[in-house]
Every structure is written in C-alpha cells, then in structure tokens.
Structure 1
Amino acid sequence: MSAQAEERGIEAGEEWGAAETPLTFQRPVPRRLVHRASMAEVFVTGAVPTGEGRFLVGAQWPRDHALYHPDQHRLSDPLLFAETIRQALVYLAHRYYAVPLSYRFIGGDLDFDIARPELLRVGGAPVSVVLDAAGTWTRQHLSQRYDMRLDVVLTVDGERCGRGSLSVLAVDERRYGLLRRGRTSPVPPGAFGRADASRPAPGGIDPAVVGRLRTKDVVLEPGVGDGAWRMNFDLDHAILFDHPTDHLPLMALLEGFRQIGHLEMRGGTSSPDGCHHALLGASVECLSFGELDEATDLFVRERVRGPVPGSRRLVVEAVQAGRPIAGAVMTWGLTEGADTART
C-alpha cells in the first residue's frame, strides 16, 4: 500500500467510491477509519452508496457493553445511536471523500431522536441497525478544510425507529494548531485522572442513580446550588477516552448530560407500573473546546414538560471558567418494560 493510500485510509485494492458488498454485519470496519483505538468500540460494519451523497450504513450494537449497556428493561443504550452517527460520518469522510487520516475532526452540532425504542430491545442476538444517511460535504480549497453534515434515519429490520444528524469541521494539523493556540499535545492517561490524589473523589454517587453499573463510569460530582454538577472524568477510562486527546470529547460531555438526566428523572414525576423514564432524544450544540485541565461545571437551566404525557425536557449547559462550552436539550419519556411491551 502506498504512503498516500495509507494516509487516506484506503485498504489494499480499494478505490475511492468503489462499490462495497451488500451490508452483511459480518465484521467491523478498520478502527482507524472511525477514530477508535479499540476494535471492541467499532460499531460500523460497512456502507453502500445509494445515490449522490447518500449511503446505507450498517452497524451492529452489542448485546452488552461496559458503558453503553442495555437498561433494566433491555432497551439499547441511546448513546449507541449517537456514537454510531459519529462513526458513520468519520467513516464516510475517509472512505468516500478522501479526507486524510491525519485531519482533526471538530464536533459541531449533534442531535438524535428515538421514536420507537421498543424496536431496539436487546434479545438473543446483537442488534443490527441501518442508517439511511444523506451527507453534505464541502471542501474549502483555499483553507484545506472540510465542512461536513450527516443526516440519518435509523431503521431496524426495515422499520424506522429514529433519526439524527451531526455536523463537524475537519482541518489539517497546522490549522488545528492555530485553532487550539498551541494546546495540541494529547494528555496521556493517568495525567490527572481519578488516580491522581490531587483530584477529588467521584463524590460518592451511586452508579445506579445515574443509570450506570460501575463506579468508574460515574462522571459527575455535586456542584454548588440547585441543578449544579461538576464533571469528574477519568482519563484512564477505556471508552470515554479510547485514545489520548487534547480536549474533552463530545461523547464524554454527552455522558455527563445523560447522567444529569437520570438524576432529574429520579426526582421527577413517578412512573406508571411497568414503565420507566428513558432518554429518547438530545440536541447538543458545541460552542468551544472543552479543556481537560479546567473545571467543567454542568447546570440544569430549565425543566419543562415534554410534548406527550409523562415526558420532560431538560435544558443543560457545560461551563468552563464562566464561559459556556456546550449546551443540550434532552427529551426523556416513558417506555414500557419488557414484560409489558406490546407486540
């Protein structure tokens, strides 16, 4: 394989835009094409072009996962959908649009809605999903940057059950350095994670109250005031920090927002028998880089009733040194347990 082909992520014998075999969900795509270090964290299994800027993207979600595990009623973790959208955009960018592997991807806006969560219930086999994806890819030749947006419809066994979108900016290393103003050195695991005695303990939050199974997956500690929390992330976390990075990843921020939602739902209205609250959608806006060496405070700015009975919307914000770095609007709704779900 030539150095140029390697830089662009081309497999031996492949050409850009070459037709792939039909979606079979037999194996994940190469991990470097979705910016993952661990093979276990690759969910996308391939893509098939269906028209100008349109693709069917296959993915397989595990029956169980250390962080993105099913809930107590066996519903797939909604953040699997968010992560699959991210991986799909990155994969298509490298595989079909010749975006070099050395380019840095900067998250913009992410949103997703799950209309029929019961279709994502985990059974005796991994959940195979398809994203009907439409992409907009603009290359600015003078600045060597790519502006990209991917809109997807989520289907399972041919049935539509959700939608989502993601926009990113991709730039070369020099321009990334200008944007980061010299703060481009990846922070290695263990640099100032929870193992460092100089950082506070996680705050004694029971993992169950934030929808997690393990103490190491709790990313919150109490803040000051009503609806105030602080992120206490661990750079040794094998999933949220799959590889060294110089800023707070979008999916780590989203995990913090989601955990706040679990806390809010526990203190909200009671659920009817056989039902529970689940995250059904989120719209996240990234405003600036989140620095790893600055405190990240999370605030619940608004609590309102959702569009259907039993649903609630939460407006949350992430702040560093008094400046907002991201915000999100989350929708939580009632879903039926496995024993009461209609067939």
Structure 2
Amino acid sequence: MSAITKINLDEFSWDIISDIKLLHKENESEVFLRKCKSLNENHFLCSAFLKNQHPYYSDHSIQSSDLIYLLECGRQAETYLVHQHYNQPLNINFILEEWSFSFENEFQPNRSLEGKEILIEVITKNQRWAKERLLYQEYDIYFFINQLQVAKLNLRVKYMKRDAYLAIRERTRKSRLIYSNQLKFQESDRVVPKNSKFGRENKSNLTLTDLNKHEDNITARLLIDFHNKSYFDHKQDHYPAMVLVEAGKQISHYVSSLVHQDSQFVLTSINCHFKLYAEFDQDVKVIAKLLHEDQIQQNTHVMVNFIQNEKTIACAELKLSNLKD
C-alpha cells in the first residue's frame, strides 16, 4: 500500500504505546503492538513485534507463519485506534460481526514470525456515529514484512456502552453472567485420539475434547484451559472469538491430517461470522466438514460450525495449505 512505500520509516515519528489497557490487555506477555501513528482520520500505521518463544504463538507442530498471531496483532491495532484516535472510552464493549483474513498468494508461510517487525496499515471506513459515540466501523488491515505485503484482514465491528451490553446479555441469558475467573479446568477431562494432529504441541493450548468421526463430519466439544493467558488475558463473560477461531483451526488440522496423513499443514485463510455469544455454562459443539481438497497441492478447505443449545453461534471456513519440503 502507499503508506509503506512512500514514507521513510527510519524518519517516521511514531507514538509509542505505553498503556496496555488501550489494547484490552493485563499481561505484558500478550502485548505485541508497540507503536502507532495516524496518517489521517481514517488511515494509520502500526508496528508489532513478537519476541522469541511465546508459549502460545510460538507453539507449532512445524515451523510456519502463524496467521492467528497476525490476527491478534490486527485486533490489538483496532482496539488501540478506537480508544486512542477515536476517543472512545475504555468501558465500551466490542462486538465482532465477522472477519476475513488470508495470507497473500505469493507469500510462503514456512518461516517463523518471531523476532520480525510487522508493519500494519489500517484503513477505517463505513463508520456509524451517534453524536460522539462510535457505533460501527469496518477495517481493511494490511500486514507487511520488510515492505512486502504478506496478509490482509477485513473486520466488521460494533461498539456498545458497557451498561447496555450487560443489560442485553443478562436479558438474553435470563440469568446473571458467568466469568472466566470463576471457572475451573482439569487437563484430565480432555479425551482426544492418540497421536492426533492439531497444529499445537503444548497441551495447555489445546481447545478440543471428545472427538468423533462420522460419515460426513467430525464432531468435538470445546474445552479450554482458563488459566491460559493467551486465551484469557483478563476475565471474560463468554468464550472470545479468538478462542473459537483457534478451535476451528485445530479441528481443521485434525480433519486435514486424516485426509493427507503425511502432509504438513498451515492455516492460510479464514472467514468467520459470529452470530451469538458462546456461553460458559453450556457445552459448545464443534462440527467440521471437509468442503474441498486439492489432490495435487494437497490443500484442504474445511467448514466449521459452532453449536450451542442447538443454535449455530458462529461459523468459519478455513483453508489449510500443505507446506512443501
């Protein structure tokens, strides 16, 4: 994009991010956005950096570029801009409607992103306001490494006052909210087939249990370690979108490994739609179906639906690509 190629970044005047509350974070280990600068009212540049050996974002079955890490960088940029540049208070809730994210076709996702500066160009559009309160905004977000565009993210997000959000949530639930810091987790509750491939190695990063193969799909149940800071940096009243996306990624790895047992897969594209909140007090069923497989390249396309109380609360279509030796 124009901002990356026309600006001398060595002489660029950045705003350093010092208050991690503007990113909705409590733990420094989960902060990747380092600096940001406004080019105009709807055009921004940000910079993110991942240090070596993060317990979640460095956890891969094979050396690869983590699309989920870039997604989190984009989410942090969106959060920071809403508060810092659009002057929205910290006590508002972000309601994600959908996102679409993919690596560029020319980018080979066979390298680690650790120790690399990620430049992020953010363009906002289609805003809706009520006086000085931001109600809705869309984002086109571009990711660069060494001035080469590697990925693009599109976001649609609503914003709501905290008191209105709480009233709607409790009215919909017909009961008081439950928070993640009240919940317990035991790894011994997890049941997965032996030698299963989920794209993650660390047990604390696994998201699924009770996997079952059926004639035309794979089913599982969501099971999350609530002490995992990458999933629950701070208390939540529902399973965050990033957790659902990770669960979709992991079951897609599992499906792909059953189709092509000797392949090495990496997530390269994801499209998600979020419809209802994923509540803590009811099981979330994860259903994955293989949509298409490329016999030559051995790439797979998987549709994942998240079901709770017999309703679809979210759905995602994911593409996993086979890394060639």
How far off is 1:23 after superposition? Answer: 6.7
1:3-82 correspondence to structure 2 within 5 Å: 22=12, 29-69=18-58, 71-82=60-71
Deviations 1:166-213 (A, max 9, x none): 221111112102321356645142524337xxxx71114568721222
SS state of the match for residue 189, structure 1? helix
1:122 aligns with 2:112: yes
Residues 1:24 and 1:98: Cα distance change in structure 2 (over 3 Å): closer
Q: Do the aligned residues in 1 keep the contact of 2:180 with 2:232 (CA within 8 Å)?
A: no
SS state of the match for residue 132, structure 1? strand
Q: Do the aligned residues in 1 keep the contact of 2:118 with 2:145 (CA within 8 Å)?
A: yes
**What TM-score do the two structures reach when normalised by structure 2?**
0.85
Residues 1:148 and 1:206: Cα distance change in structure 2 (over 3 Å): farther
**Match of residue 285 from structure 1:** 273
Give the residue type in structure 2 aligned to 1:22.
Answer: F
Residues 1:143 and 1:307: Cα distance change in structure 2 (over 3 Å): farther
How far off is 1:318 after superposition? Answer: 0.2
**What TM-score do the two structures reach when normalised by structure 1?**
0.81
**Match of residue 167 from structure 1:** 156
**Match of residue 316 from structure 1:** 304
More divergent stretch after superposition (319-328 vs 101-110):
101-110
**Which of 181, 184, 189 is equivalent to 2:181?**
189
How far off is 1:310 after superposition? Answer: 2.1
Residues 1:228 and 1:119: Cα distance change in structure 2 (over 3 Å): closer
**Which of 229, 232, 240 is equivalent to 1:238?**
229
Residues 1:301 and 1:276: Cα distance change in structure 2 (over 3 Å): closer
Residues 1:277 and 1:120: Cα distance change in structure 2 (over 3 Å): closer
> Could you tell me how far apart the structure 1 residues matched to 2:285 and 2:13 are?
42
> Could you tell me how far apart the structure 1 residues matched to 2:19 and 2:193 are?
37
Q: Do the aligned residues in 1 keep the contact of 2:56 with 2:205 (CA within 8 Å)?
A: yes
Give the residue type in structure 2 aligned to 1:317.
Answer: N
Q: Do the aligned residues in 2 keep the contact of 1:220 with 1:230 (CA within 8 Å)?
A: yes
Residues 1:131 and 1:224: Cα distance change in structure 2 (over 3 Å): same
How far off is 1:138 after superposition? Answer: 2.5
**Which of 271, 292, 305 is equivalent to 2:293?**
305
More divergent stretch after superposition (57-66 vs 96-105):
57-66
SS state of the match for residue 176, structure 1? helix
> Could you tell me how far apart the structure 1 residues matched to 2:319 and 2:253 are?
11
Deviations 1:281-337 (A, max 9, x none): 101110111101110000013421259832111011000010000000001112245
How far off is 1:83 after superposition? Answer: 0.7
**RMSD across aligned C-alpha pairs, in angstroms?**
2.7
The runs of at least 4 aligned residues of structure 1 exceeding 6 Å deviation read: none
How many residue pairs are counted as aligned between the two chains?
A: 308
> Could you tell me how far apart the structure 1 residues matched to 2:126 and 2:296 are?
36
**Match of residue 83 from structure 1:** 72
Whose RCO is larger (CA < 8 A, sep 6+)?
Answer: 2
Residues 1:319 and 1:29: Cα distance change in structure 2 (over 3 Å): farther
How far off is 1:235 after superposition? Answer: 1.9
Give the residue type in structure 2 aligned to 1:110.
Answer: W
Identity of aligned residues (%): 19
**Which of 250, 261, 271 is equivalent to 2:252?**
261
Identify unmatched segments of 5+ residues in structure 2.
Answer: 1-10
Q: Do the aligned residues in 1 keep the contact of 2:61 with 2:199 (CA within 8 Å)?
A: no
